[in-house]
């Protein structure tokens, strides 16, 4: 039986996301029936290009979080393990391999399952497990896989010409791959329009996060972990832009009226890491004690996008990508970023999720926690997988959280 574990929301606009998500998945099924090409994608594949080329993008990591939030992950993970994937493998990958190879043994798939893919696209950026996961899918599904390689951006060299050139080549190679798969010619104008919309959205998102510095905090993570969805998966569409305009207006109104997530803030937290999608109510839990999770370490625009760099949209994307990062370039950079946010958002303590099956997030969290404690910023580490709820013990997590809250309240 599916039990809803979604977080209690403070904003009206956020309540629209589930319907947007449902209709997005329904649309992908429709597209597939109409013969549109469907690409199964990893996160960070530029959906604007796919959209401009009339390819339907289905993002598997997002679908994994849908499964997890409906508390179906254990069934899908077990199915993935049954076909040979170790418990140490990324929970998202394990679930999807279970979905592909042992669907009969897995629970009923949300939204009636995924649109059947014609090819696969993976971005090498930020996560290494994806590469293995997507190549495994390519093998078992016997489908073409295109790897979009994103160069690492070392600190202090973020706008290097070499990086921009390399990124441009990679983007052009993605376009060529899509032209081959679809038999359609790429039209720069279409892409330019999508990019304009997507950059507007990104600017609004940035502004929304800036406004969350207000006391009382008008929008907490319980809303934001849901509200990032359109930006991640509907970027470059009108409905996405409309959503964020509405969100921004609602937040401005709340600030003007002095409405916060909790009426009287006693402490403000940051959530660093991937949340536990199967128990998002945990974020609301602190609200009962007068706390608010005011900002996230992940899924956050850290800077404004730079203005248009070039008339050629592909070149423009490449140039901008080297001047704008969604992930910090290194652990050091991510620590600096969190320390800045702690100050700017007046954070009293940081909750760090340690997701054992996400190597990338786990390693940096360890160093981040140490750096915060060294500076006297209280932290709480919670080790539970982002998707596989078999690693979660509610009583143990709550004891740690309760004690952390007691620690924060004892300081005042």
Partner 1 sequence: MIVAGIDVGSSTSKAVILEDQKIISYSIVPTGAESAGSAQKAMNETLQKTARLSLADIRWIVATGYGRVIVDFANETVTELSCHARGAHWLLPSIRTVLDMGGQDCKAIRCDNKGKLLNFVMNDKCAAGTGRFLEVMARVMELPLEDIGELSLQAKEEIRINSTCAVFGKSEVASLIRLGREKQDILSGLHTAISNRVFTLLRKVGVEPDFTITGGIAKNIGVVRRLEEKLGLKAILTVEPQIVGALGAALFARDRVSNQ
**Residue 23 found at the interface with partner 1 (CB under 8 A):** no
Count of beta carbons in the 10 Å neighbourhood of residue 111: 18
> CA 11: distance to chain centroid?
20
Q: How far is the CB of 366 from partner 1 (least distance, A)?
A: 11
* Residues shown for the chain: 412
* Residues forming a β-bridge with 269: 293, 349
**Residue 105 found at the interface with partner 1 (CB under 8 A):** no
**Residue 13 found at the interface with partner 1 (CB under 8 A):** no
- Residues 40, 114: Cα–Cα separation, whole Å: 9
**Residue 344 found at the interface with partner 1 (CB under 8 A):** no
Q: Which stretch binds partner 1 (CB under 8 A): 94-102, 103-111, 156-164, 392-400?
A: 392-400
Q: What one-character-per-residue DSSP string does 130-196 give? A: HHHHHHHHHHHHT--EEEE------TT-TT-HHHHHHHHHHHHHHHHHHHHHH-----HHHHHHHHH
- Residues 308, 314: Cα–Cα separation, whole Å: 11
**Residue 378 found at the interface with partner 1 (CB under 8 A):** yes
| Closest to 300 in 3D by CA, of 324, 283, 264, 276 | 324
Task: Retrieve residue 329's tokens.
Answer: 């370039």
Question: Contacting partner 1 (CB under 8 A), which of 179, 343, 373, 375?
Answer: 373
**Residue 400 found at the interface with partner 1 (CB under 8 A):** yes
Q: How far is the CB of 406 from partner 1 (least distance, A)?
A: 5
Closer of 122 and 405 to partner 1 (Cβ): 405
**Residue 367 found at the interface with partner 1 (CB under 8 A):** no
Q: Where are the beta strands (DSSP E) in 308-359?
A: 349-354
Q: What one-character-per-residue DSSP string does 106-134 give? A: SPPPGGGSPPPPSEEEEE-SS-SHHHHHH
Q: Which stretch binds partner 1 (CB under 8 A): 27-35, 45-53, 138-146, 404-412?
A: 404-412
372 and 273 in contact (C-beta within 8 Å)? no
- Residues 164, 158: Cα–Cα separation, whole Å: 9
- Residues 389, 401: Cα–Cα separation, whole Å: 18
Closer of 62 and 371 to partner 1 (Cβ): 371
Closer of 244 and 354 to partner 1 (Cβ): 354
**Residue 375 found at the interface with partner 1 (CB under 8 A):** no
Estimate the share of the chain in helix, then strand, then coil, as percent rounded to the nearest 5.
55, 10, 35
Closer of 188 and 378 to partner 1 (Cβ): 378
Q: Which stretch binds partner 1 (CB under 8 A): 158-166, 189-197, 229-237, 399-407?
A: 399-407
Question: Contacting partner 1 (CB under 8 A), which of 1, 19, 256, 395?
Answer: 395
Closer of 32 and 272 to partner 1 (Cβ): 272
Closer of 8 and 400 to partner 1 (Cβ): 400
Closer of 161 and 410 to partner 1 (Cβ): 410
Torsion sign over Cα 82, 85, 88, 92? negative
Q: Which stretch binds partner 1 (CB under 8 A): 20-28, 236-244, 292-300, 396-404?
A: 396-404
Q: Which stretch binds partner 1 (CB under 8 A): 31-39, 110-118, 246-254, 401-409?
A: 401-409
**Residue 290 found at the interface with partner 1 (CB under 8 A):** no
Question: Contacting partner 1 (CB under 8 A), which of 1, 161, 256, 410?
Answer: 410
Question: Contacting partner 1 (CB under 8 A), which of 88, 303, 340, 402?
Answer: 402
**Residue 162 found at the interface with partner 1 (CB under 8 A):** no
Q: Is 62 helix (H, G, I), strand (E, B) or coil?
A: helix
**SS3 readout for 352-377:** EEECCCCHHHHHHHHHHHHHHHHCCC
Q: How many residues interact with partner 1 (rule CB under 8 A)?
A: 14
**Residue 396 found at the interface with partner 1 (CB under 8 A):** yes
- Contacting residues toward partner 1, per CB under 8 A: 373, 378, 383, 391, 393, 395-396, 399-400, 402-403, 406-407, 410
């Amino acid at each position: 039986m599916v039990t809803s574990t979604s977080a209690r929301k403070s904003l009206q606009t956020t309540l629209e996301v589930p319907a947007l998500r449902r209709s997005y998945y329904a649309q992908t099924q429709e597209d597939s029936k109409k013969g549109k090409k469907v690409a199964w994608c990893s996160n960070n594949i530029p959906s604007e290009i796919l959209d401009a080329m009339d390819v339907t993008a289905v993002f598997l990591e997002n679908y994994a979080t849908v499964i997890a939030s409906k508390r179906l992950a254990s069934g899908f993970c077990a199915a993935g393990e049954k076909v040979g994937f170790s418990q140490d493998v990324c929970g998202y990958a394990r679930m999807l391999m279970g979905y592909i190879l042992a669907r009969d043994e897995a629970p009923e798939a949300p939204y009636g399952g995924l649109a059947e893919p014609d090819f696969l696209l993976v971005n090498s950026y930020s996560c290494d497990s994806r590469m293995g996961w997507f190549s495994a899918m390519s093998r078992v599904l016997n489908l073409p896989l295109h790897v979009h390689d994103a160069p690492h951006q070392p600190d202090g060299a973020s706008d290097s010409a070499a990086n921009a050139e390399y990124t441009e080549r990679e983007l052009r190679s993605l376009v060529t791959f899509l032209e081959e798969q679809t038999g359609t010619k790429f039209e720069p104008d279409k892409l330019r329009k999508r990019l304009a919309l997507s950059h507007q959205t990104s600017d609004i998102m940035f502004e929304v996060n800036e406004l969350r510095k207000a006391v009382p905090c008008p929008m907490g993570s319980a809303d934001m972990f849901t509200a990032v969805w359109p930006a991640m998966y509907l970027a470059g569409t009108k409905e996405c832009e409309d959503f964020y305009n509405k969100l921004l207006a609602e937040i401005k109104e709340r600030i003007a009226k002095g409405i916060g997530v909790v009426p009287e803030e006693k402490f403000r937290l940051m959530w660093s890491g991937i949340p536990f999608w199967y128990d998002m109510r945990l974020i609301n839990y602190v609200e009962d004690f007068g706390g608010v999770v005011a900002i996230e370490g992940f899924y956050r625009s850290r800077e404004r996008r730079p203005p248009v760099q070039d008339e050629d949209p592909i070149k423009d994307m490449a140039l901008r990508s080297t001047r704008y990062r969604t992930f910090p370039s290194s652990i050091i950079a991510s620590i600096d970023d969190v320390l800045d946010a702690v100050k700017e958002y007046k954070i009293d303590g940081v909750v760090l999720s340690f997701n054992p099956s996400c190597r990338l997030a786990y390693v940096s969290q360890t160093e981040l926690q140490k750096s915060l404690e060294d500076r006297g910023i209280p932290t709480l580490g919670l080790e539970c997988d982002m998707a596989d709820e078999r690693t979660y013990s509610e009583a143990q997590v709550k004891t740690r959280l309760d004690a952390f809250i007691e620690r924060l309240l004892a300081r005042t």
